[in-house]
Every structure is written in structure tokens, then in C-alpha cells.
Structure 1
């Protein structure tokens, strides 16, 4: 792999020469520097964190309840005074995209801006909160001795293209005002703990949009400019470019663009839970819904929030991202009062599993932003900051699950008792679903063990905790097999009574799509 970027001043020669970037939509250029009062900078950072919190709260009741369809206009979504605090206290697990952010903010606060990747990986892997998809697969990898970036690589993480880092990347942009490349460098380090390829690009793009929202109040411009951080050859770039194109084509009809997204970009080939299913937690399509909200919202906070939510799928995280970016652009004070109802009452509440509240992250995030501004060629005084604005540069090209196409899901539904279990399949890859469970709640947690053989060759011996927090998401997987028939053997080690290793199904891949 190429050497990853570090948090050092970027493109200083270009900045000193006064270079500008042309807006592909024909608008203004990105400045080479931007001066903000410290009050405005603080207000924007507060707006980003508050917007994210408002968005995830608003979309919480609809999360993954509308898959492959949008939420009709007549469907009410609750919002009232006190709702924010009530939700934070009664449904703390809803805020996973925020307490994951805060985990990383806390590491920067404790260890400084040069904190090593292992510190971030250790912090979230050993946290008490539950995780899912790419995050949980990475947590398992780290707890079992694998390091980043291997922990997020698609060969080691079947969820590498999922949304996880996209919903956690807010902090990278909020601590990098006007510096999208610095945000990308942070995302390179932390985002590869759990994601790769298009899954990683979701976080890179989000971080860049946040960063540019500090220096432009034109949402169309920010969307275009931030996309320059993504390689044009990637599917992620192509999807975002399509959304921008469809917005130009249907400027007053977000639902028509939603249908185009669904028709062209709704296939999920990576996530084993999303293939052959309306459920789609892929970063690419959910980023498209974020753009849908931002573009059709046109700078209107309520409209942005509502459209990003009503697009469906991950409909709490998507409005959280959209509202966070817009909140950064307009600032905390300009978020309409309707959406800040009860916010002041909640701002001193620590998010569960953390020792950090909104008020604390407002302060800590501001401190980190000042450090990043100075580190990347800007200046800071008691009353104002001057940011050396960075012209967005593309990160490296990565592609996960290349030449893999899901062709069939076979229901297995079997308790894998101690001993050997075999079957055959035809294709180039396989993911075997299942989990370890205890039959009675009063039993202590245990760790089961099994070994996978493919075509007589040992692939892996894996451990399967019954503890939900440390669980392995799938039993086994193996990609990049030669095309043809393959034999699978799973050897389960003897374990105590009261525990089961359950196999649910297996997903088969080939090197070409299934033909009807």
C-alpha cells in the first residue's frame, strides 16, 4: 500500500502563489485564505455538532424502516420541545454516530494531533458501546490481534463498503476548517480502521464538505468542491456526480432524483446483510441521500433535514450528516429556533459511554481546530483566525469487492455441533452467516472456536464470542477463489453444553453477474 498522508501543511507553495480552484458549477472560486473572527469560528463548530445531534434525533424513529422506498409526505415525524433531551436520555444507543466521533475526539485531546492509529483503534475496540457492520467487524479484528488498516480492508472485513466511517467523519472536517486535505489525512488514518474503498470515500467526502462549509456559504459550491477529494474512477465519485447532474436536470423534484438513485445505484454487493435485500447500508447510496438533502434543501435547514430523512434507509445518520454540514455553514446562532427546542437542556448531558457533552465538544473541537489552523499554515490571534485554505486534492484510488457479484443466498439454518460440517458451492467467493449464542441468559459468556477449510486447505481458525459487544459478525468468508466448484469444511471444536454455533446461510459470489 502507498504511504498514508500525515497531518502536515499541504500545498503551501500553491497557497503562497495564490492559486484558486474553479467551481464546476460556474460559481465563485475557493479563496486561498479566509479570515474569521474567533466568535464566528466557534459558532460554526457549535453549529456542526448541534446540527448533527438534531439530525440524528429527528431521523431516529424512521431508521431502516423505509428501505427501498421514501417516506411519504403525509407521514408525520415527531419534533417538540424537550424531545432532544428525552431521546438522549431514553434512547442513548441512537447516537452511535456521535459517540464514535467523540471517542476519536477524546483520543486527540488526550494524546495530541499526532496520536498513532493504534490509539484510536484501541479506544473504540475496547469501548462499552455496541457496534454493527464495518465497525463491529473491525472491532473484532482489532481485539483478535489485527491492526489498522488491515482491520478495515475488504479481504478482512465483509462490510468495508458500509456507511460506518461516513457517519463518524464529522469530527475530521470540524477540526479542519477550510482544510479538506488535512481532513482527508485524518480520515486516511482513522477511516481505514473500519472501512476501505467506497466505504472510506464516504467519510473523506463528508469530512471535506464540513471543512469547506467554514469558508463558503454556497451549498452547491461546497458539494462540487469537496467531490474533488474523491478519485473520479471510483463508483462513489460517479454516484455523487450523478446526483449533482440529476439535481441540475430536475431542480424542483427531489423524488425524481431519488428514483434515479434507486434505479442506478441501489445494488449492494458487499454487505452480507444487504445483498438480495431492500436493506442497504452501503456508504455510496446513503451519501447520495445526504446530497439529496443538501442540494434540494438549498440552505433551508428544515427542508434539508426532512429530505435527507425521507429518502429512507439510514434515515437518522443521513440527516445528521446533512444537518451537521449545513449547521457548520450557517452557524449555531442561525439554526432556526424551532430545531433548537430543548437543546440547551441537553447540552450538558454526557453522551452515553463517554465523558463528553455537547458543551464540552464545542470547547474541545474549537481547541483542536485552532491547533490544526496553526499546523497547516494559518494564524491565530485572540480575536480572529486566518485559514490557509486548501485546494481539494483527490485521495488514492481503492476498490473493494472487485469482480465479485452475488449470485445466490442459500439458507442453511443449522446448529454446528462439535465435529465436521461440509457442503459444496460453485463460484469465486463465499460468506457464511451465523453467530455464537448461549441457550440460557444466566449462563456466563463463552468463546467458541472453529476452523474453515476450502478445497482441503485450512483458511482460518476463528473465535466466536457469545458476548454481543465482542461478537464476530459472520462465521467465515473467503474471496478471490478460482471460478468453479469448491468444497467447504467447518470443524467445530468441542464446547460446553448450553452454547451453540449457529449457521444461518451462505452467500455465494461469482466473477460475473447472474444472467436471467
Structure 2
């Protein structure tokens, strides 16, 4: 567990964040490597905030929505979708997200469960490649340790969708849209966090932002004060709901995700949310590669995230094997934290491309890719679930969920997945062409 109250730890990650972002940290990096006292770390953090980017920075990563949109091509055409198909695909998205999340939960620790380490375990368990929930070996071989949630997230033990932040935020996003309509603000998101989301169930950038809100910072500043996790995966995992309610309209989905993401993230952290929302919305057209390609039209083309997604697309176009592509992603993006946006988005994109519309192959490959396995499994499962529709999902992924999701969000524990999908469909119907902007007041 990362500790956003510890200036020494904040300094460690802020130094990496600045270096990855092309800033001139100079002697501050060497000084930071030996700091042990909070007061010294605080002084260096203040000094880092004054650093500037070097002239060799090769990327264009704007923050304001208007500046982001100015870098984008014309918005993709909105794909029409009928009522029955809409309902089936939205339910498929919810079910797929839950199944993919549960699949990745017992091996969610990128420091321990690297892609290679996970493959060794699955091979020992005669479960490679993954085509079902992770099995438990008894006795557990030396050198392997499943997460503490394994008694209810592994093969033969799943009886509902386990509580997870990847699902909490999807439910909370649904509530925000129902409560405030499609004109919600980042301040509305902040208010709902404080009212419905327990602090202890937040992590990295979300925990920093929550802390800052409680200390009285305005929502516009809460995500940037002492937040070295601002380009990590947190906002990306919150965005699928905005794709569900904008079926076939990835640009609209991305703009809603932007409003949510900017509460806690900047730059690629925000782009990750825009990308995943657009990816889900584009999936309603029913094609994995097309969805990945379309999602690229909704994030700044000069960003590091766009570069990473193009890299994966190029690997796929060049007919690289899954193993070779995963090794290439590791070589190029493995220096990021295992919960960063960029490397994990690359793994999700690869799982979708090599899975090619097959639900089992998509979530299996994505989780086998390692890093943030439950988050990645959830996003890939969400997209593949929309592509396949609920009726096209294999029963061994869906039936163990028993139409039930646990949640830490007040008012949502033991939610019915079919009910969540029905509520989502009601919102989505208001956003289709000719119906006007989505708003639960109309």
C-alpha cells in the first residue's frame, strides 16, 4: 500500500514522475535518493514543483479540454444501434467487466506477478493459456503467493463479483449520471466521493485527491497538490460507464471521462480515461481492432499514450506473436510503475487485438500480460463484453457471478448486475442521435 501522507515516499514517486515527463530535475534526483527525513523530503518536493521541461521534450500533452480537442481529427460518426442490441451489449459490458476483474484479482501485484512469473504458475497448474478463473495449487509452490482475496476469486470459489475499486467507480459513475445528468462537473464527482466512497478503499491518485478534499482544497486543485500518481491508472479504471452511456459515440464518451478524470489526474492519466471511455463506446460497432483504432482519435496524437497504442497496433499489423508483442511492450514501457496508465493501456490494447473478439482469449491474454491485472482484465472484459453481447458470453464466466456485485459504494453493495445494466440502458437511450443530450431529468 502506497502512503500519500509520507513525504519521503511522495518524493520518490515525484522524482520519477518528473523524469518521465521530461523535466530537468538535475541535482534534485541525487539528493532525493538519500533523503530519509520528512522535512528534507518536503523541501525537495517544493523545489521539484519549480522545475521546467527540457527543450528536447518530443511530446505534445495538453491539459485543457479545448486544447486536447484542437489536436484531434474530426469526431468519428455516431454508429446507430437498436434497442434490443443496446440492452444486450450494455449487459455484456457489465458482465464482462466483472468477470475480467475477478479473473485478475488473485494475481494483482505487478512486482510479484510479472507476466513471466504468472506464466510459470499457470503452467504448473496446467492452466496456461488462461481460459477460466485462476486455479489454486495446494500446496502452493514456493515462490508464489496469491492475493488475500483468493478464497472468493479463484476457480470453483467465485459466487458473486467481488468488491473492487474497478467496479466501485463504475457504479459511482452511474449514480453521478443519474443524480446530476450528463452536465455533471468535477466538483460533483468530488462531492460524491466524499459522500459515498470510503477513504480506505481509495488508492494512489484517488487517495491523494480525497485527502486534499478533506483538507479543504478546491476540487480544481485537489488532484495536483502532492500527487505524484497523477498519470497512473486510477482515472482509466473509472471511465467505462461513460462509454456504456454513449454507445457508438466515442468522442462524447471521452469528453465525459475528461470531466471525471481531471479531479485527480493530469496528462496521460486523463488521456487514459478518455481512451478507455472511447474504446468502450467504439466497441458497440462490434469489432476489436476498429475499436482500438477509433479510440486513438479521442486522445492527443502527440502524447506518450497515443504513441504506446500505435506501437501495439503496429506489432499486431506486423503479425507479431502474442509472446513477442508482450516482450516488446515490456522492453519499451516496463520502466513505468506497474500501476501506470501507459504500460497497462498497452497490455489492454494487445489483449483486445490478439483476442480478436473472442471473450475468453481477450481477458485471458490481458491478465496473462501482468501489471495491474484486475484493472486490465476489467477494461478488456468490458470492451469484449460489449462486442460479444451478454448472449455471446461463455456461461463459465457469467454464471458464477450470480448477477450480484459487491461494492464499497454506499447504496450499491450486492447490486444486481442486470439492474445496473437496465439503469445504464435508460441513460444510454437519451444520448442516441435525435434524442438530445442525456439527462435523467428529461
- Tell me what 1:44 maps to: 89
**How far apart, in 2, do the equivalents of 1:237 and 1:80 lie?**
34
- Tell me what 2:252 maps to: 182
Q: Are positions 1:353 and 2:414 aligned together? A: no
Q: Are positions 1:267 and 2:317 aligned together? A: no
Q: What are the residue-to-residue correspondences of 1:237-256 with 2, within 5 Å?
A: 237-251=306-320, 253-256=321-324
Q: What are the residue-to-residue correspondences of 1:411-430 with 2, within 5 Å?
A: none
Report the CA distance between 1:249 and its aligned residue: 2.2
Kindly tell me: are residues 135 and 69 of structure 1, through their superposed partners in 2, closer, same or farther at Cα, counting changes over 3 Å? farther
**How far apart, in 2, do the equivalents of 1:103 and 1:112 lie?**
13
Kindly tell me: are residues 156 and 150 of structure 1, through their superposed partners in 2, closer, same or farther at Cα, counting changes over 3 Å? farther
Give the RMSD, CA atoms, in angstroms: 2.7
| SS of equivalent residue, structure 2 residue 373 | coil
Which of 106, 113, 119 is residue 66 of structure 1 equivalent to? 113
**How far apart, in 2, do the equivalents of 1:117 and 1:174 lie?**
19
**How far apart, in 1, do the equivalents of 2:251 and 2:100 lie?**
26
Tell me if structure 2 keeps the 8 A contact 1:80–1:341.
Answer: no
Report the CA distance between 1:82 and its aligned residue: 6.3
**Superposition misfits of 4+ residues, deviation over 6 angstroms:** 79-82
- Tell me what 1:321 maps to: 379
Kindly tell me: are residues 289 and 33 of structure 1, through their superposed partners in 2, closer, same or farther at Cα, counting changes over 3 Å? closer
Kindly tell me: are residues 131 and 250 of structure 1, through their superposed partners in 2, closer, same or farther at Cα, counting changes over 3 Å? same
Which of 426, 430, 435 is residue 367 of structure 1 equivalent to? 426
- Tell me what 1:85 maps to: 159
- Tell me what 1:168 maps to: 238
The alignment's TM-score, normalised by the length of structure 1, stands at 0.61
Q: What are the residue-to-residue correspondences of 1:212-291 with 2, within 5 Å?
A: 212-214=282-284, 216-251=285-320, 253-268=321-336, 274=337, 280-291=338-349
Kindly tell me: are residues 243 and 70 of structure 1, through their superposed partners in 2, closer, same or farther at Cα, counting changes over 3 Å? farther
- Report the structure number with the largest CA radius of gyration: 1
- Tell me what 2:399 maps to: 341
Tell me if structure 2 keeps the 8 A contact 1:134–1:152.
Answer: yes
**How far apart, in 1, do the equivalents of 2:434 and 2:156 lie?**
40
Q: Are positions 1:201 and 2:295 aligned together? A: no
Tell me if structure 2 keeps the 8 A contact 1:52–1:324.
Answer: yes
**How far apart, in 1, do the equivalents of 2:64 and 2:229 lie?**
24
Number of residue pairs aligned between Structure 1 and Structure 2: 339
Report the CA distance between 1:325 and its aligned residue: 0.4
**Which deviations, in whole Å up to 9, do the C-alpha atoms of 1:426-484 show, x marking residues without a partner?**
xxxxxxxxxxxxxxxxxxxxxxxxxxxxxxxxxxxxxxxxxxxxxxxxxxxxxxxxxxx
Q: What are the residue-to-residue correspondences of 1:372-387 with 2, within 5 Å?
A: 372-373=431-432
Which of 160, 163, 184 is residue 115 of structure 1 equivalent to? 184
Kindly tell me: are residues 68 and 36 of structure 1, through their superposed partners in 2, closer, same or farther at Cα, counting changes over 3 Å? closer
**How far apart, in 1, do the equivalents of 2:316 and 2:179 lie?**
43
Kindly tell me: are residues 137 and 352 of structure 1, through their superposed partners in 2, closer, same or farther at Cα, counting changes over 3 Å? closer
Report the CA distance between 1:59 and its aligned residue: 1.0
Report the CA distance between 1:68 and its aligned residue: 6.5
**How far apart, in 2, do the equivalents of 1:238 and 1:35 lie?**
30
Kindly tell me: are residues 288 and 195 of structure 1, through their superposed partners in 2, closer, same or farther at Cα, counting changes over 3 Å? same
| SS of equivalent residue, structure 1 residue 244 | helix
More strand by share: 1
Tell me if structure 1 keeps the 8 A contact 2:99–2:161.
Answer: no
Kindly tell me: are residues 120 and 363 of structure 1, through their superposed partners in 2, closer, same or farther at Cα, counting changes over 3 Å? same
Tell me if structure 1 keeps the 8 A contact 2:231–2:265.
Answer: yes
- Tell me what 2:175 maps to: 106
**How far apart, in 1, do the equivalents of 2:106 and 2:406 lie?**
22
Q: Are positions 1:139 and 2:210 aligned together? A: yes
| SS of equivalent residue, structure 1 residue 341 | helix
Tell me if structure 1 keeps the 8 A contact 2:430–2:436.
Answer: no
Greater relative contact order: 1 or 2 (C-alpha under 8 angstroms, separation 6 or more)? 2
Tell me if structure 2 keeps the 8 A contact 1:99–1:352.
Answer: yes
Which of 281, 296, 307 is residue 211 of structure 1 equivalent to? 281
Gaps of 5+ in 1: 11-18, 22-29, 269-273, 275-279, 380-516
